[in-house]
C-alpha cells in the first residue's frame, strides 16, 4: 500500500494525511486508502457471486443489490421509483420532481443536479488558463493532480500486459478496462435503464445525454452543445476539418480515436476468438458469441408485443423500436435522430469523413463498400488489372482481393460476418448489408424530385423516376373510356385520389396504393434462399436475386 506523510500545522489541529501520488489530503487513513486505490487500481472488495470487485465496500454492497438481490430500499416519496442507493434516489428527485440544482457555478449562471457536470462546465468554459503543462506533450490542465495522472501515460515502464494481445499499460486499472474489449464485460451499469459500458466516463455521458437535459460543453463557433468534451472535439472537426488520429501503416486519418482503433485491426489481422464448428474467427469474444447463434439457432430474447424473437439482446432492443414512435439514437454533432443504431453509424460518416475502403489499384478511397465496388468496375472495364487473386479451393480467380474473399465466404465457408443490428439478417457482403439497412430500416429518403416532391432512399430510384415522367401537367386530351380504372391510369392531371391512412402517401392508381401498403406491414412472404433476405414484393426479390449471380 502507498505510504503517506503525516502533516500538522500546529498542536491541537487535525493531522492531514497526504497522498504520495497527488496533492489530495485526507482526514483519516481509511479515506486516504480509498483515494490511493484510484491510483493503484486496487479493488480489494470482491463479490462472492461474480467476478466484480470494488475499491469501496459501499460500492460493492450497491453492486450486490443491483445485480444479485434486486433490492432497492430507497423509495421516492413522490412516485413509484426506487433505487439501490441514496445518491441515485436524490438525483431522481432533483431531476424529476423538485428541479433543484444545488451545484452552482460561481462565474456564471450555470447550475446542475450533478457535481460532475459543474466540474465539466468549469473546465470547459472557465479554464482558459492552464498553468500545469506536460513536459512530454502539449497537454495542459488547471490542476496539478490531473497533470500527475496524465504523466503516467509517458512512463517508460508498462508492467501490466494483456495475455490475449500485445497491449501493455502503466496501471492495473487501465489493463482491466482494456480486458473488457476482449471479454465484452460492461461493469458500469445505468440505474435508469439497461445501458452498460466498459468505461465509467461513457456511463456518465450516457446519463447526461439521456436522463438529464444538461449539455455543459458549448461550441464557440455555432450553437452546438454537448454532454462531453470529447463530443465537442468531434463536432469542432466540422469547422476545422482536422483529422488528428493517423494510421502509422497507411495514409488513413480520422477525427475519431475509436475509428482509428477499429481501422488498425485491418492491419494486425489478429482474431483470437475462433469458432470450432466452421473456422470463423473474430477480434472480440462478443462477436464470436453472436456468430455461434448461426449454428445453434437459439433466439432466447422474445418480444412481448409480437411473436418476434432474437438471438441477442441488442437485436431485440433494436426491434422494440418498431413498437415505439421514439427515435432514441441521436447524433451528437447535429439534429439527426433515428430509430436504429445502424442508421446512426451510417449517418456518422457524413461528419467524420472516414473513407476506410481503399482501392488496391489507385489512391481512391470510399466511405462505403458499395462505392468502392462501383469504382473498381472502372479498372475492370479498362482492363488495367490481371486475375492475380486465385481461390485455393477451386479454379476461381479475380482481379480484386475483396472479390476473392467474397467468393470464399459464399461458396466454401458459408460465412456471413456482416450482421444487421436491427434484425437477424446477415450476409457475406458489406454492400448488401448497407442496402438492406437502407431498404428495410432507414426511414430517411434524402433523394427528392424538385418538381413533384417524390422522395426515395436510393439515388438510382430518383433517376428512374425522372426518366419515366416529366413531372409536369400537360394539356388534357380527348381520351375517353367506359372503365373508371382505365381513366385513372390514363389521366394527365396531378390529382392523386388514393391516399394512405397511415402516412399520407397518395397516388393516381389504386394498384399503387395496394403496393404501397405493404411497406406498413411486417409480412414479407418473398424470401431469398441464398441469404435469408425477405421482402413484401416479388419484383423486389427478383432484383435482389440478381445480386447473387456475380461471384
Q: What is the pLDDT of residues 133-166, one digit of tens each?
A: 888 777 777 666 667 767 766 666 666 777 777 7
Mean of pLDDT values over 334-340: 74
pLDDT in tens, 262-317: 677 767 767 777 777 777 777 666 677 777 777 766 776 777 777 777 777 667 77
The residue that leads in pLDDT, 285 or 344, is: 344
The Cα angle at residue 450 between residues 449 and 456, in degrees rounded to 5: 20
DSSP string for 193-207: SS-EESSHHHHHHHH
485, part of any domain: no
Q: Which residue has the cell 454537448?
A: 226
**Burial class of residue 371, CB neighbours in 10 A (0-12, 13-18, 19+):** middle
> How much is the pLDDT for 446?
56
Is the pLDDT score of 3 beyond 60? no
The residue that leads in pLDDT, 52 or 117, is: 52
153, part of any domain: no
pLDDT in tens, 192-204: 777 777 777 777 7
CA–CA dist 215, 229 (Å, integer): 10
Q: CB neighbours (10 Å) of residue 60?
A: 19
40, part of any domain: yes
445, part of any domain: no
pLDDT in tens, 348-373: 777 777 777 777 777 788 877 667 77
456, part of any domain: no
Q: What is the DSSP letter of 91?
A: H
Angle of helix 229-240 relative to helix 341-352, nearest 10 degrees, comes to 50
C-alpha cell at 381: 472495364
User: pLDDT band for position 384 (50/70/90)?
Assistant: low
CA–CA dist 66, 60 (Å, integer): 10
Helix locations, 48-161, DSSP H: 57-64, 86-93, 115-125, 144-151
* Domain count across the chain: 1
CATH number of residue 53's parent domain = 3.30.160.60
Mean of pLDDT values over 314-326: 69
φ, ψ for residue 274, nearest 5 deg: -120, 145
pLDDT in tens, 467-493: 665 454 334 455 555 544 455 455 544
> How much is the pLDDT for 157?
62
pLDDT in tens, 31-46: 888 888 877 778 888 8
DSSP string for 457-502: SSHHHHHHHHHH---S-PPP-----S-HHHHHHH--S----EE-TT
129, part of any domain: no
92, part of any domain: yes
Query: Whole domain around residue 74: which residue ranges?
Result: 15-124
The helix (run of H) or strand (run of E) holding residue 485 is: helix 484-490
Best CA proximity match to 404, nearest among 419, 387, 417: 387
438, part of any domain: no
DSSP string for 275-313: -TTT--EESSHHHHHHHHHHHH----EE-SSSS-EESSH
C-alpha cell at 482: 367506359
Is the pLDDT score of 426 beyond 60? yes
User: pLDDT band for position 386 (50/70/90)?
Assistant: low
CA–CA dist 425, 63 (Å, integer): 36
Best CA proximity match to 544, nearest among 448, 425, 376, 423: 425
Mean of pLDDT values over 106-132: 73
> How much is the pLDDT for 468?
62
Judge whether 315 and 423 are in contact, CB under 8 Å. yes
CA–CA dist 426, 432 (Å, integer): 9
Residues 6+ apart with CB under 8 A from 315: 301, 421, 422, 423, 424
Is the pLDDT score of 10 beyond 50? no
The three-state secondary structure class of 336 is: coil
Query: Hey, what long-range contacts does 521-528 have (CB within 8 A, 24 or more apart)?
Result: 522/306, 522/322
Amino acid at each position: 500500500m502507498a505510504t503517506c506523510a503525516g502533516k500538522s500545522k500546529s498542536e491541537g489541529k487535525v493531522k492531514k494525511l497526504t497522498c504520495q501520488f497527488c496533492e489530495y489530503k485526507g482526514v483519516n487513513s481509511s479515506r486516504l486508502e480509498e483515494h490511493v486505490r484510484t491510483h493503484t487500481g486496487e479493488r480489494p472488495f470482491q463479490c462472492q457471486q461474480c467476478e466484480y470487485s470494488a475499491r469501496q465496500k459501499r460500492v460493492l454492497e450497491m453492486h450486490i443489490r443491483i445485480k444479485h438481490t434486486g433490492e432497492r430500499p430507497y423509495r421516492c416519496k413522490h412516485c413509484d421509483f426506487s433505487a439501490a442507493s441514496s445518491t441515485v434516489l436524490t438525483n431522481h428527485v432533483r431531476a424529476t420532481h423538485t428541479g433543484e440544482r444545488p451545484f452552482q457555478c460561481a462565474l456564471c449562471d450555470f447550475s446542475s443536479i450533478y457535481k460532475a457536470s459543474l466540474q465539466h462546465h468549469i473546465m470547459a468554459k472557465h479554464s482558459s488558463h492552464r498553468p500545469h503543462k506536460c513536459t512530454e506533450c502539449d497537454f495542459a490542465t488547471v490542476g496539478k493532480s490531473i497533470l500527475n495522472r496524465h504523466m503516467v501515460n509517458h512512463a517508460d515502464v508498462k508492467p501490466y500486459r494483456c495475455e490475449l494481445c500485445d497491449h501493455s499499460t502503466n496501471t492495473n486499472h487501465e489493463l482491466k478496462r482494456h480486458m473488457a474489449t476482449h471479454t465484452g464485460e460492461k461493469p458500469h451499469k445505468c440505474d435508469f435503464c439497461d445501458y452498460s459500458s466498459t468505461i465509467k466516463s461513457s456511463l456518465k455521458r450516457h446519463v447526461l445525454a439521456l436522463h438529464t437535459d444538461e449539455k455543459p460543453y458549448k461550441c464557440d463557433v455555432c450553437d452546438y452543445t454537448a454532454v462531453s468534451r470529447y463530443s465537442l472535439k468531434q463536432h469542432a472537426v466540422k469547422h476545422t476539418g482536422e483529422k488528428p488520429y493517423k494510421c502509422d501503416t497507411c495514409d488513413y486519418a480520422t477525427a475519431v480515436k475509436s475509428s482509428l482503433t477499429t481501422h488498425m485491426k485491418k492491419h494486425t489481422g489478429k482474431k483470437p476468438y475462433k469458432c470450432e464448428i466452421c473456422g470463423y474467427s473474430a477480434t472480440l469474444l462478443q462477436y464470436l458469441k453472436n456468430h455461434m447463434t448461426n449454428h445453434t439457432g437459439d433466439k432466447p430474447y422474445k418480444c412481448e408485443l409480437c411473436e418476434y424473437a432474437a438471438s441477442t439482446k441488442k437485436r431485440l432492443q433494436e426491434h422494440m423500436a418498431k413498437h415505439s414512435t421514439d427515435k432514441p439514437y441521436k447524433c451528437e454533432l447535429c439534429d439527426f435522430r433515428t430509430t436504429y443504431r445502424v442508421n446512426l453509424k451510417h449517418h456518422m460518416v457524413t461528419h467524420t469523413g472516414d473513407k476506410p475502403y481503399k482501392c488496391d489499384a489507385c489512391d481512391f478511397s470510399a466511405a462505403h463498400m458499395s462505392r468502392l465496388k462501383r469504382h473498381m468496375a472502372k479498372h475492370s472495364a479498362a482492363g488495367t488489372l490481371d486475375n492475380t487473386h486465385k481461390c485455393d479451393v477451386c479454379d476461381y480467380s479475380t482481379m480484386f482481393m475483396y472479390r476473392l474473399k467474397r467468393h470464399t465466404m459464399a461458396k466454401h465457408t458459408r460465412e456471413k460476418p456482416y450482421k444487421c443490428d436491427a434484425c437477424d439478417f446477415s450476409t457475406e457482403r458489406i454492400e448488401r448489408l448497407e442496402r438492406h439497412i437502407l431498404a428495410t430500416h432507414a426511414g430517411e429518403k434524402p433523394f427528392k424530385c424538385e418538381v413533384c416532391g417524390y422522395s426515395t432512399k436510393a439515388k438510382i430510384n430518383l433517376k428512374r423516376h425522372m426518366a419515366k415522367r416529366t413531372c409536369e401537367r400537360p394539356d388534357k386530351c380527348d381520351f375517353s373510356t367506359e372503365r373508371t380504372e382505365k381513366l385513372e391510369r390514363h389521366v394527365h392531371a396531378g390529382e392523386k385520389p388514393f391516399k394512405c391512412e397511415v402516412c399520407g402517401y397518395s397516388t393516381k392508381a389504386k394498384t399503387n396504393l395496394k403496393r404501397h401498403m405493404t411497406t406498413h406491414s411486417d409480412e414479407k412472404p418473398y424470401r431469398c434462399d441464398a441469404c435469408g433476405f425477405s421482402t413484401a414484393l416479388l419484383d423486389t426479390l427478383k432484383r435482389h436475386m440478381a445480386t447473387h449471380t456475380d461471384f
